[in-house]
Structure 1
Amino acid sequence: MIPVAVGTDVVEVDRIRRALDRTPTLEARVFTSDEIAYCRAAREPWQRFAARWAAKEAVIKCLGGGLPGLDPHGIEVAHLADGAPTVRLSGDVRRRAEERGIERWLVSLSHERTVATATAIALAAM
């Protein structure tokens, strides 16, 4: 597999918290029910929400487009059996990745009290 795109995003945790507080419907519009359950299970869920937001943005950057027109539910941040983060794509997002020959993703998430970051690497067959 060869890397064909890299996307990185950094967000302020408080900006995501304020956006979700200000617009109660935003949480369900952006995050899947599994993502919401995972984030809400934490004592401080905002870092987890922010890291997932950043991951979705990083994947979108790899796909060469902005969020308009793409369903954020089409990018779900999940975990492998060993706890490593991964993304599951569906719908238009998956089709866009397939059109670009992307077959696999590597994702890294990190967060501190005030910031969260994510990097996505899109891989294609040689």
Structure 2
Amino acid sequence: MSSIVGIGVDVVDIERFSASLQRTPGLRARLFTEAEAALPVESLAARFAAKEAIAKALGAPAGLSWHDCEVVRSEGRRPEFALRGTVEAAAAALGVTCAHLSLAHDGGLATAYVILEG
């Protein structure tokens, strides 16, 4: 039987996030994988919220790399995480066997909820 290992949530103001991306040109490449970086700003804000939410669900350990947590979505499927490196190691250390992710963007806000099971 699985149990909840962690829960995380994050909300991002899309306009403010967009301004940050415009003000700091290297930020997009620092935060997102190549596949993620090509998406529209609303989707980027939701993905940033997802990365923040999973970090919170993991207990915000030091040393997590933004690129080690990618939000992927196959055609017609819900979003999910592709974990690698530092984020995968942090999840494994907590016994995480499943990560649930929900994203939304509306009314100028992007929101992500993460539930980790182990």
TM-score per shorter chain, which class? over 0.9
Is the contact made by 1:80 and 1:86 (CA closer than 8 Å) also made in structure 2? no
- Amino acid in structure 2 at the alignment position of 1:59: I
Partner residue in 1 for 2:19: 18
Q: CA RMSD in A?
A: 1.3
Letter of the 2:109 partner, please give it. Answer: V
Q: TM-score, structure 1 length as denominator?
A: 0.87
Q: Pick the aligned partner of 1:79 from 48, 57, 73.
A: 73
Partner of residue 70 from structure 1, selected from 29, 46, 64: 64
Q: Map 1:1-126 to 2 at 5 A.
A: 1-37=2-38, 39=39, 45-65=40-60, 69-80=63-74, 82-124=76-118
Deviation at 1:113, TM superposition (A): 4.2
Q: TM-score scaled to structure 2, two decimals?
A: 0.93
Q: How many residue pairs were aligned?
A: 117
Report sequence identity in percent.
40
Gaps of 5+ in 2: none
Once superposed, which parts of structure 1, at least 4 consecutive aligned residues long, lie more than 3 Å away? none
**Within 2, Cα distance between the matches of 1:18 and 1:47?**
12
Structure 2 counterpart SS, 1:70? coil
CA drift of 1:2 comes to 2.1
- Quote how far apart the aligned CAs of 1:3 are: 1.7
Aligned amino acid, residue 98 of structure 1: A
